[in-house]
Amino acid sequence: MEYLKKIGKKVLQYESKLILKKYKPKIIAISGSVGKTTTKELLYSVLSNKFYVRKSDKSFTVELGLPLTIIGYPRDNNYIWSLIIHMLHGLRIILWKSEYPDWLILEIDADKIGDLESVSQLLHPDILVLTAIGKVPAHIELFPSVEVFLEENKKIVNSVVRDGVIIYNADDENSFNLVQDSDIKKISCGVGSGCSVGASEYKILYGSGKIEKIPTGMTFELTADSKKYSINIFQSIGIHNVYASMLSFAVGRELKIPEENIISSLNQYKSIPGRMNIIQGIKNTIIIDDSYNSSPNALDQALSVLAELKSSGRKILVVGDMLELGKYSAEEHRKSAHKIKEIADYVFCVGIRARLIAQELLSLDFPEAKIIQTDLSEEAGAELQKIIEDGDTILIKGSQAMRLERVVEEIMRHPEDKSKLLVRQEEEWLSRK
C-alpha cells in the first residue's frame, strides 16, 4: 500500500511540472518561519482584485501538497482512491485546455533537509516573500543546527528567476543575512530605518464596554517613498499584521497595482482564526486567541502584545508546548519564562515541555499559587474557568498539537460561533482526540 502511495505522489509531482510548463503561471513563494499564513492571506486579498489568483490552503512541502495546489485539487489525502482522483484531475488539465490562474501564491515550509531543494526543482518563483525566521526557527527539530536550516532555505532563495524579486523582512537578522548574497532584485520591509517599505506609529485600538477598555484592533502607518498610508486591522492585534501588510504592499506595488487599491485591500482584511484574534470571553473577559501555532519568536511577539494591552483586570497566560524545536526545546521554554514573569499575573502551562516554563518561573520567585500545570488543553480550560474574573485579559498560545483552541472554546462568551471564530474546526481535526 505504501509503495502505491509513493508512486501516486511521484505521478502528481510529474503532472504538476507539466501543468506549470503548459500554463506558465507566475509564482509567489512565501517562506520563513513566522507570519507566512497571514502574509499569504493578505497577499491574496491584494492581488485577487486584479488577477486570477490561487493560493495554497496551508503550508506545504513538495511531496504532495504543492502538486495538489498546482493541479487545483488541494485536498491533502493519502488514501489510494483519493490519489487516483487527483491524478485523473491533473491529467484532464494537461490534455485539455482549462482556465488557469495568472498567479499562484504558495506557502512553503522546510520541515527536513531536502525539502526546499525539492521545491526548487519543481518551481522557480517570480517573487520570493521571506518572512521572519527568528534565532530559533519553527520546524528546526529535524535539522542538526540553525546553520543547516538556513542553508536549506538558501535553496529557495537561489531558485528565484533571474528577473524576479525577493521581498523580505529586513528586521529579522537571519532573513536579512539569507538574501544579502543574492544578486536578484531585493525589496526590504521593516520597522527599522532605511527600508524600502516601512511602518511606524503602531497602536492598539480600544472601544468602550462593560469593562474599562476593550481592544478592537490595531492601527499603524505604512510608509513608502516618503508617503504615508494609514492601515486599520480589526479583531486582531500584533506585529505579525504589520509585517504581513508591508510585504503584501511591496508585492502589490511591484506588480503595478495602484497604491490606493492596495491600501483598500489591506484595510478590508479580516484575520483568519487563531492568529492573535480578539474574542469575547465569559465574565466580561477578553481572549487573545493565538492558538494556531507557536515558536520562540512568535511567543515573544505575543507576549509583547500582552504587555502593551490595557486591562481593567489581571493578565492571564495560557501557554502550551512549543513543538519541533529539537535540541533547542528545553532552553527556549525556560528562556520564555523570564519575559512571562514580567507580564503575566497567572500562568497556565499546558503540556510536558511547558513544565519547564513552570519550573523556571518558580526559580524566578513567581508565586507558585499562580502557576497551574496541566497535560491537556481540556484540563486547562476547566481550571481556567475556576479563576477568571471580570475584566481579565487572557492570551492563549501554543503549538498546533496542543489543541489550545479547546481552551478558547471553554471560556468564549459565544461558543455557538466557534466554527467561525476558532481554528481547526474542520471535521478531520474535530475527530482527533
Residue 2 has pLDDT above 70, yes or no: yes
Residue 74 has pLDDT above 70, yes or no: no
**DSSP secondary structure string for all residues of 180-206:** TT--SEEEEEESSTT-SEEEEEEEEEE
Q: What is the pLDDT of residue 305?
A: 97
> 102-142 pLDDT, tens per residue?
999 999 988 889 888 888 888 999 999 999 999 999 989 99
Residue 211 has pLDDT above 60, yes or no: no
Q: How far apart are CA 7 and CA 400, in angstroms?
A: 30
Q: How far apart are CA 178 and CA 127, in angstroms?
A: 15
Distant-in-sequence, close-in-space partners of 97: CB < 8 Å, separation ≥ 6: none
Could you tell me the three cell numbers for 383?
481550571
Q: How far apart are CA 386 and CA 389, in angstroms?
A: 9
Q: What is the pTM of this model?
A: 0.94
Lowest mean pLDDT among 176-185, 202-211, 265-274: 202-211
**What is the DSSP secondary structure assignment for residue 126, as one 8-state letter?**
S
Strands 197-207 and 214-224: antiparallel
Q: How far apart are CA 384 and CA 394, in angstroms?
A: 10
What's the gap between Cα 262 and its chain centre? 21
Q: What is the pLDDT of residue 210?
A: 56
Q: What is the pLDDT of residue 75?
A: 58
Q: What is the pLDDT of residue 430?
A: 83
What b-and-e string marks burial along 146-176, b requiring 16 or more CB atoms within 10 Å of the CB?
beebbebbbbbbebbeeebbbbbbbbbebbb
Helix pair angle (2-23, 115-122), 10° resolution? 40
3-state secondary structure of 168: strand
**Span 328-340, mean pLDDT?**
98
Lowest mean pLDDT among 70-79, 260-269, 306-315: 70-79
Residue 384 has pLDDT above 60, yes or no: yes
Average pLDDT, the chain: 93
Q: What is the pLDDT of residue 81?
A: 76
Q: How far apart are CA 191 and CA 307, in angstroms?
A: 19
Please choose, from the candidates 122, 98, 96, the residue with its C-alpha nearest in 3D space to the C-alpha of residue 10: 122
How many Cβ atoms are within 10 Å of 100's Cβ, its own excluded?
17
> 143-154 pLDDT, tens per residue?
999 999 999 999
**Span 360-377, mean pLDDT?**
98
3-state secondary structure 208-255: CCCCCCEEEEEEEEEEECCEEEEEEEECECCHHHHHHHHHHHHHHHHC
Lowest mean pLDDT among 29-33, 170-174, 210-214: 210-214
**What is the DSSP secondary structure assignment for residue 408, as one 8-state letter?**
H
- Bridge partner residues of 199 (DSSP): 222
Residue 78 has pLDDT above 60, yes or no: no
Could you tell me the three cell numbers for 212?
474599562
Q: What is the pLDDT of residue 79?
A: 67
